[in-house]
């Protein structure tokens, strides 16, 4: 199973997926491409060190989202990508990418969706004062964190902890959960029936 990861930032999830792949924990999934819209993002350095091909683009150089997405889609086709994994990719997608990868494109979000979609979900949940939050892996559609939910794990806000500690614990859950879910997709062990998904 050939995988492309889309990311815009630090890339800790990218790294976790790479390590899972190398250690044989990704169901035969292999990360063959990083797609990144931010040339200075640390994830680009991670890919360079790991020898993963990187497709860099600058959205401002294109008139429309569909234009850069068509170029990305062409590269995904050339590389015979089976699965697209969004990991901190900070852009919405159009049907140019969503349609060909329907049911084969995942995102991870640091809240229990549908609560707190969008940016800074951990800060949103923290400021709201929730006692339980968590992590969601979902299929990608054109909306903001609206696709069919594939997996969720709850994280309880501990008495007395601060937002940095909560953030660190949520990231730990992400880095464990995402490779587990990607493995099920790589192995083809996923049944999608409308908004209902079964793994394993």
What residues form the annotated binding site?
11-13, 65, 90-93, 107
Q: How many CB atoms lie within 10 A of CB 188?
A: 10
Q: In this complex, which beta carbon is closest to ligand GRF, that of residue 70 or of residue 171?
A: 171
Residue of 174, 179, 181, 182 that binds ligand GRF (CB under 6 A): 174
137 phi and psi, to 5 degrees?
-110, 130
d(CA 14, CA 5): 7
79 phi and psi, to 5 degrees?
-85, 5
Smallest gap from Cβ 78 to ligand GRF, in A, equals 25
Which of 46, 109, 138, 183 is labelled catalytic?
109
Residue of 5, 7, 36, 155 that binds ligand GRF (CB under 6 A): 7
Length of the chain in residues, anyone? 200
Mapped onto helix, strand or coil, the DSSP state of residue 21 is: helix
Is beta strand 196-199 parallel, antiparallel or unpaired with respect to 190-193?
antiparallel
Binding track over 46-85 against ligand GRF, x by CB under 6 A:
----------------------------------------
> Does residue 171 have an active-site annotation?
no
Residues contributing to the site for ligand GRF (CB under 6 A): 7, 9-14, 87-88, 108-110, 174
């Amino acid at each position: 199973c050939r995988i492309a990861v889309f990311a815009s930032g630090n890339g800790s999830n990218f790294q976790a997926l790479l390590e899972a792949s190398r250690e044989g924990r990704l169901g035969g999934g292999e990360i063959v491409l990083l797609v990144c819209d931010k040339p200075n993002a640390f994830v680009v350095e991670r890919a360079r060190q790991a020898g993963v091909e990187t497709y860099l683009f600058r959205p401002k150089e294109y008139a429309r989202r569909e234009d850069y997405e068509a170029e990305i889609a062409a590269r995904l086709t050339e590389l015979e990508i089976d699965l697209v994994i969004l990991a901190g990719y900070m852009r919405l997608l159009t049907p140019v990418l969503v349609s060909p990868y329907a049911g084969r494109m995942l995102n991870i979000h640091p809240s229990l969706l549908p609560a707190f979609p969008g940016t800074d979900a951990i800060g949103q949940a923290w400021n709201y004062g929730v006692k339980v939050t968590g992590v969601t892996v979902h299929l990608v559609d054109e909306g903001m964190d609206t696709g069919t939910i594939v997996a969720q794990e709850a994280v309880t806000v501990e008495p007395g902890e601060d937002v940095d500690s909560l953030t660190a614990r949520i990231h730990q859950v992400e880095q464990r959960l995402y490779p587990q879910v990607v493995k099920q997709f790589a192995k083809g062990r996923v049944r999608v029936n409308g908004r209902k998904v079964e793994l394993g």
